[in-house]
Amino acid sequence: MTYNTPQGFSFAVAEAAIKKPGRKDLALITSEKEAIVSALFTTNAIKAAPVLVDIKRARSGIGRAIIVNSGNANACTGPQGLRDAEEMAALVANALGLRPSEVYVCSTGVIGAPMPMDRIRAAIKPLVLSLTNGTLHNVAEAIMTTDTFAKVSTRVIEIEGKKATISAIAKGAGMICPNMATMLCFILTDIAVTKKALDRALKDAVQCSFNSITIDGDMSTNDTVLAFANGMAQNRPIEYRGKDYETFCNCLSEICLELAKMIVKDGEGATKFITIDVINAKDNSDAKMAAYCIANSMLVKTALYGNDANWGRIMAALGYAGVSLKADRVDISINGIEIAHHGLTTGRDAEAQHSMAGSSDIHLMVDLNLGRAKGRVFTCDLTEGYVKVNAEYRT
């Protein structure tokens, strides 16, 4: 597959047999010119070695390359894991004539296993030599673990009369729960933008996308979002606020939301894509928290898998969400069919169940009738497929 990609970026993939042979599992992204870099990382207290390395790199606000592998998370690997992450960046830097501090490193896969550095070292040179042959889609495929399809999104926009591009890839299908949702995302653009503007735009885009999804309630040790802006579109650098900033933000948010939805739709074993809206809450925090409690309830998720409009499970999840509510004000709808009104049944469960059985997209609406705040979360159902994938993950 081919996509519009920003000027000045090159891509390469190679096989290092990191978990098993037979697939490309090492990828490289490079920028012809120094790029402004913004980054967001997992808030898990247990952070993988590459995350710890990249947190330090990101303080500079600049970068030229990303080396990423699948099959091994390089997490819970102690001091050797840190040395391995640093070495991966250094090997790429030496091959490209860059400073090691300009190379970011990311990993995804099994936690607790040592990195097979002998195979990675051997793969770096052919990886660099193939930079003129790779594509963004190749990289998206190489970073997959339990994903069933490559996740790519791109937009061409106009800034100051100049055509510019924002492209992004992501991986993730399980161990997905903010903050952030195991996921990696790499955003590339040739638009010139200031560090302050990029930081703010990325934070806002992630909040309404990757920080609004959950598959299984488990937060990864490796979650990373990296944005590279190399300015090769030659527009005047976009400042925080203003028309061009708004255009840039809207585009970035669209891309992140599209990728976030792809992650949910690719949830391990998932058969249904579920949008949960909590409206008329006391405040936005309550609305989002209530939506997450419903989305992460195994009882709710399994009921939706079975096309069971079991609104009692939704009420129970609301009750332990720790938000302001009154049971006799709560209204619940599935696909526009009200199944509970003011905390009591409407007798329309069978109608809602018929609607769910005929669709892979489910819209769950909860009206708390307490205020004007709202929150939205995207999730999927919980099936036997999820159990099978994770029971066999290391075998």
The per-residue pLDDT for range 91-126, each reduced to its tens digit, is: 999 999 999 999 999 999 889 999 999 999 999 999
Task: Report the pLDDT value the prediction gives residue 79, as an integer from 0 to 100.
Answer: 97
What single string gives the DSSP state of each residue in 323-389? Answer: ----GGG-EEEETTEEEEETTEE-S-HHHHHHHHHT-SEEEEEEE--SSSEEEEEEEE---HHHHHH
Which parts of the chain sit beneath pLDDT 50?
A: 180-181
Task: Report the pLDDT value the prediction gives residue 36, as an integer from 0 to 100.
Answer: 98
Helix axes 243-265, 195-207, angle to 10 degrees: 40
- The three-point CA angle 138-106-77 to 5° equals 135
| Cα-to-chain-centroid distance, residue 328 | 37
Residues 283, 242 contacting (CB under 8 angstroms): no
Calculate the alpha carbon distances from 166 to 10, 110, 261, 361 in Å: 14, 31, 18, 28
Q: Domain 9-265, what architecture?
A: 4-Layer Sandwich (3.60)
Q: Which residues are catalytic?
A: 182
Task: Report the pLDDT value the prediction gives residue 17, as an integer from 0 to 100.
Answer: 93
> In 3D, which of 184, 195, 262, 264 has the Cα closest to residue 226?
184
Task: Report the pLDDT value the prediction gives residue 181, as an integer from 0 to 100.
Answer: 42
Q: Does domain 273-391 have CATH number 3.10.20.340?
A: yes
Task: Report the pLDDT value the prediction gives residue 180, as an integer from 0 to 100.
Answer: 44
What single string gives the DSSP state of each residue in 108-119? Answer: EEETTPPP-HHH
Backbone dihedral angles phi then psi of residue 310, each to the nearest 5 degrees: -85, 80
Helix axes 78-96, 117-129, angle to 10 degrees: 20
Q: The tokens 């309404």 sit on which residue?
A: 208
SS3 assignment, position 159: strand
CA 130/CA 28 separation, integer angstroms = 10
CA 299, 286, 370, 291: dihedral to nearest 10 degrees?
A: -30
Strand-pair category, 344-345 with 224-229: unpaired
CA 309/CA 59 separation, integer angstroms = 48
Cis peptide before 180 (omega within 30 of 0): yes
> In 3D, which of 371, 362, 164, 163 has the Cα closest to residue 267?
362
Strand order in the sheet with 344-345: 344-345, 337-341, 331-334, 361-367, 273-281, 373-380
Write down the pTM of the prediction. 0.91
